Amino acid sequence: MNNAERKAHLIGSGIANLAAAAYLIKDGGFSGANITIYEEENLPGGALDAAGDSEKGYFMRGERMFEANYVCMYDLLSFIPSLDDSTKSVKQDTLEFTSAYTWNNKARLVANGQILNFRSYGFDAKDVSELLALTSKPERASNDKRISEVFSEHFFTTNFWHMWKTIFAFEPWHSAIEFRRYLLRFMHLFPDMATQSLLHHTRYNQYDAMVRPIIKWLTDRGVQYVGNTRVTDIDLGNDTYGEITARGISIAQDGEQKKVEVSPEDLVIATLGSMVANVTFGTNDAPPKLITSPAHEGKWALWETLARKRKDIFRDPAVFTSNISESQFVTYTVTQRDRRFFDLMEQLSEQEVGRNGMTSLPESSWSLSFILSHQPYYQSQPEGIYVWYGIALYPDKMGDYVRKPMNQCSGREVLEELTRHLGFGADVERILDSSTLVVNMMPFGISQFMKRKVSDRPDVVPEGSTNLALTGQFVEVPDDCVFTMEYSVRSAQMAVFKLLNLDKEPTPFPRVSNDLHVVWNAFKTLTQGG
């Protein structure tokens, strides 16, 4: 059958499956009208969301930083026109914006209103030798190991670790396999960890800058988006062991359970699991609902159902979902009607807003960090409104000024804690009275970093599959790093190119750790500072 006549059923509308739909059309010759994307949420984009308004406050799950070697993501964005100027691709717009507003962080670490000396990474000889030991051994040597099992305590007190954990959200209890992959993939960034000048960023939040243009490109080509629809099962038929062919999908829609037939020539591409399952948002006056034992919604339940049928293929989602205290992640979005906070940060950092990158507060018990992005941060944001975003790594701990755990705090209390850590106490009432802070609690926010074995994730195209592929953060993409958009887009390229037997490989990324120049610079930085 001609590919233009085949159908594709895509489960999940995060960047992984938006990319899969785009590659099915661009490289696979599919007709957009034959592609349907099912999504249990109202809007597409998955983790790349952005909502709210200037009155009630804007809110979103997160902001993304990336870099030049996000080659798959940039490949995708190279054929998607920007919404502001359709003569430019989103890639071109993003590169131009990054170059016009290159970060040059002068206030990476701040304590009590003082900028700390963050150029020294604080390593001793043992830290360096442990790093070398981890990276020089094969991945399987770190099977089921935590980072804390391959480094001594001193490593976790270094400036390097503090900068690392706040940029990438790693914790000592996370997977040594994942940490090793990051060290190797992003080694060229080591000398730049303090200034962050090699990091790229989009003109607006990623929903406005990436998801909306991709959705327009897809819907212009007829792709069907079916929101508020949860896929509960994939019928794998009664094929003989060794061959897998999806024959149908079960969906829950408008309170009803329905079945969609899938013919063997058609494709099913499913994103398994999600870091944004069971997310709750707080308000300026109230904390988010704390969920300690979340019900597994469609985002995880489909994977669990499939794993019950064929564990040999789908492996075990419980590796990533069974310990919320180790997988939770908290972020917050701040909307301000007064520029005072921006003015104070510009004075402190001696940098115009939009150029400083991430500031972290190493003495904050909650481990607060934040980024003041170039404004407007939402495409529709009115003049005189300022929106920024931050993270916290230890929401269970007692605050240093507001004597409560962060996860019991209102938005106003969180902003007070942050403002006082920065030494802006004299302006605290003015700042709080003109701001709205919304906390976002993600029980599975960093579940992709949970300690695991090499074999714990399913393959993108399982062995024997004739028409089923799996995408996203929880499938195995050799050598690449989870908790990145790049990983999801790479999984989409792998899924489409392999399922369709195209003579095309996923965009290769530079193996920077094989480049002696990069290795030498990284070593020099670690031993002498950035």
Ligand X SMILES: Cc1cc2nc3c(=O)[nH]c(=O)nc-3n(C[C@H](O)[C@H](O)[C@H](O)COP(=O)(O)OP(=O)(O)OC[C@H]3O[C@@H](n4cnc5c(N)ncnc54)[C@H](O)[C@@H]3O)c2cc1C
Map residues 407-446 to x or -, x wherever contact with ligand X holds by CB under 6 A: --------------------------------------x-
> Measured from the CB of residue 22, what is the shortest distance to ligand X in angstroms?
13
As a whole number of angstroms, the distance between CA 47 and CA 63 comes to: 10
Q: Rule CB under 6 A: say whether 268 interacts with ligand X.
A: no
Stretch binding ligand X (CB under 6 A), from 61-69, 140-148, 451-459, 516-524 = 61-69
DSSP string covering 165-222, please?
HHHH---TTSBHHHHHHHHHHTGGGGGGTTT-TT-B--SS-HIIIIIHHHHHHHHHTT
Q: Rule CB under 6 A: say whether 16 interacts with ligand X.
A: yes
List binders of ligand X among 298-317 (CB under 6 A). 298-299, 302
Stretch binding ligand X (CB under 6 A), from 57-65, 117-125, 336-344, 411-419 = 57-65
Q: Rule CB under 6 A: say whether 20 interacts with ligand X.
A: no
Q: Rule CB under 6 A: say whether 46 interacts with ligand X.
A: yes
As a whole number of angstroms, the distance between CA 424 and CA 347 comes to: 11
Stretch binding ligand X (CB under 6 A), from 14-22, 120-128, 220-228, 334-342 = 14-22
Q: Rule CB under 6 A: say whether 75 interacts with ligand X.
A: no
Q: Residue by residue, what is the 3-state secondary structure of 438-491? A: EEEEECCCCHHHCCCCHHHCCECCCCCECCEEEECCCCECCCCCCCCHHHHHHH
- Which of 21, 25, 41, 82 binds ligand X (CB under 6 A)? It is 41
Residue written as tokens 């510009």? 346
Torsion from C-alpha of 278, 279, 282, 287, nearest 10 degrees? 60
| CB nearer to ligand X: pick between 142 and 440 | 440
> Measured from the CB of residue 492, what is the shortest distance to ligand X in angstroms?
8
| CB nearer to ligand X: pick between 341 and 389 | 389
Q: Rule CB under 6 A: say whether 38 interacts with ligand X.
A: yes
Q: Rule CB under 6 A: say whether 14 interacts with ligand X.
A: yes
Q: Residue count at the site for ligand X (CB under 6 A)? A: 36
| CB nearer to ligand X: pick between 30 and 487 | 487
Q: Rule CB under 6 A: say whether 48 interacts with ligand X.
A: yes
List binders of ligand X among 86-115 (CB under 6 A). none
DSSP string covering 304-336, please?
HHHHHH-HHHH--THHHHS-HHHH-EEEEEEEE
**Which residue blocks in 15-114 are alpha helix, DSSP H?**
15-26, 71-77, 90-100
Q: Rule CB under 6 A: say whether 488 interacts with ligand X.
A: yes
- Which of 24, 116, 441, 485 binds ligand X (CB under 6 A)? It is 485
Q: Amino acid identity, residue 38?
A: Y
Q: Rule CB under 6 A: say whether 65 interacts with ligand X.
A: yes
As a whole number of angstroms, the distance between CA 349 and CA 340 comes to: 14
Stretch binding ligand X (CB under 6 A), from 46-54, 235-243, 407-415, 520-528 = 46-54
Q: Rule CB under 6 A: say whether 165 interacts with ligand X.
A: no
List binders of ligand X among 168-227 (CB under 6 A). none
As a whole number of angstroms, the distance between CA 11 and CA 5 comes to: 20
- Which of 7, 28, 35, 40 binds ligand X (CB under 6 A)? It is 40
As a whole number of angstroms, the distance between CA 168 and CA 108 comes to: 14
List binders of ligand X among 439-478 (CB under 6 A). 445, 472-473
DSSP 240: P
- Which of 142, 159, 274, 328 binds ligand X (CB under 6 A)? It is 274
Q: Rule CB under 6 A: say whether 72 interacts with ligand X.
A: no
* Opening angle at CA 399, ends 398 and 404, nearest 5: 60
As a whole number of angstroms, the distance between CA 337 and CA 433 comes to: 9
> Measured from the CB of residue 229, what is the shortest distance to ligand X in angstroms?
6
Q: Rule CB under 6 A: say whether 506 interacts with ligand X.
A: no
| CB nearer to ligand X: pick between 244 and 344 | 244
* Opening angle at CA 379, ends 332 and 59, nearest 5: 20
> Measured from the CB of residue 76, what is the shortest distance to ligand X in angstroms?
12
> Measured from the CB of residue 471, what is the shortest distance to ligand X in angstroms?
6
As a whole number of angstroms, the distance between CA 244 and CA 155 comes to: 46
The answer for residues whose C-beta is within 8 angstroms of residue 160's C-beta and 6 or more apart is: 121, 122, 123, 127, 193, 526
Spatial CA neighbour of 374 closest among 118, 92, 99: 99
Element (H, E) at 8: strand 8-11
- Which of 331, 336, 375, 465 binds ligand X (CB under 6 A)? It is 331
| CB nearer to ligand X: pick between 109 and 234 | 234
Q: Residue by residue, what is the 3-state secondary structure of 370-413? A: EECCCCCCCCCCCCCCEEEEEEECCCCCECCCCCCEHHHCCHHH
The answer for residues whose C-beta is within 8 angstroms of residue 229's C-beta and 6 or more apart is: 38, 39, 40, 251, 252, 253
List binders of ligand X among 231-250 (CB under 6 A). 231
The answer for residues whose C-beta is within 8 angstroms of residue 462's C-beta and 6 or more apart is: 244, 313, 314, 468, 470
Stretch binding ligand X (CB under 6 A), from 27-35, 141-149, 218-226, 296-304 = 296-304
Stretch binding ligand X (CB under 6 A), from 42-50, 155-163, 349-357, 399-407 = 42-50
User: What does the binding site for ligand X look like in residue numbers (CB under 6 A)?
Assistant: 11-16, 38-41, 46-48, 61-62, 64-66, 230-231, 271, 274-276, 298-299, 302, 331, 445, 472-473, 483-486, 488
